[in-house]
Structure formats: C-alpha cells, structure tokens
Amino acid sequence: MKTITEPSSLTSSSFEELVREMIARLGEDPEREGLMRTPERVAKAMQFLVKGYKEDPEAMLREALFTVDYDEMVIVKDIEMFSLCEHHMLPFFGKVHVAYIPKGKVIGLSKIPRLIEVFSRRLQIQERLTTQIAETIQKAVEPQGVGVVVEARHLCMMMRGIEKQHSSAVTSSMLGCFRHEEETRTEFLSLIRQRTNGA
C-alpha cells in the first residue's frame, strides 16, 4: 500500500534539503545570501499552498446547513481561486461561479468560498477541481441541482510551453436540474455573465 506523506512534514529538514539540492542542480549556490533561507521559505509556502489536504470539505458544509423554505436559485459568483497545477506545480488562478437550487436546506454563504479554498489548496487540475466542488455540494446539501463554472489562467501555458499570455480555460460541472433542465442551466450561465452594477 502506498504511503502518503502528511503535509505537516513539509517543514522538516528533509524537505528543506530537497529544495537546497534543487537549487544546486539548477546551477545556483544555495549558500548565497539571497538563497540561504530559501529552502525554509519554500517549505512554509508549500505547506500553506497544499493545506487543503488536511480539511474535510463535506464535514465543513454540514456544519453550516440551515433549514429554509426557499427553492429559488442561489448564486455566489466571481470567487477568486488560486491553485497549483499537478503536472508542473505552477500556479493557475481565476474565478469560480457556483449555483444551486435548495431543497429544504441552504449553506451559509461563506462556506462556498471556503469549500473552493479547500479543494484549490491541493495539487489540482482544473477539471477535477470543478467536479469536486459540484459533487461535494450535491452530496452534503442534497439540493435539486448544482452548477459550477471555473474560468482560469494557467502559468504552465503562460510562462512555458506555448507561452500564450491571454488564453484561459473554462470548465463546468452541472448536476441534477442544472444538467437536465436547459432553462435552469441557461439562467445560471446568463446570470454569471452579468456585470456587477450594470458595468
């Protein structure tokens, strides 16, 4: 069985030694003044960037469920997102739009950005991130349906490879009535395209 190293071990001297070796293999001097504390800083940064592994997203949502008599669409849009691409460990970033139609229960609104934070603070691909957000809301809240759209720019495309600076990737996950009812899906997509304050 494969052993998974706990993220908390990222601050250990062994991880710092790996970073120090990487610096040397890149042709730099790890003892140079500007680089001497880099291994320590990288370890702390990585611990923060992957802290989502330590959190239980479903449990977090269940703690903030409220019984209500409301069955209209709830949308939280333009939620900022930062993550690390699992292929190159370079950042990708953008905005997430989430909607669901309650069936007797709603989530505290702040928990939707919190859920996105949990999944984005892991090594990710955009497609999986999109699906995980939608499926977790569907499972924990059991609404009539969930819609999630993620728009992101990837530094692995901007800084390396094809080096396209203005390209972005858009992914979506539609569950329940968002998948089966075109009118619901169209309303969601229309509302997230609208600019705030009519701008």
Residues labelled catalytic? 85-88, 126, 154, 156
Give the CA diameter of the chain: 64
Q: How far apart are CA 134 and CA 148, in angstroms?
A: 6
Strands 145-154 and 169-176, how do they pair? antiparallel
Helices (H) and strands (E) in the chain, counts: 8, 7
Backbone angles phi, psi at 154, to 5 degrees: -115, 125
Q: How far apart are CA 178 and CA 87, in angstroms?
A: 31
H or E segment to which residue 193 belongs: helix 182-193
DSSP-derived secondary structure letter, 37: T
- Nearest CA to 171 among 133, 135, 127, 116? 127
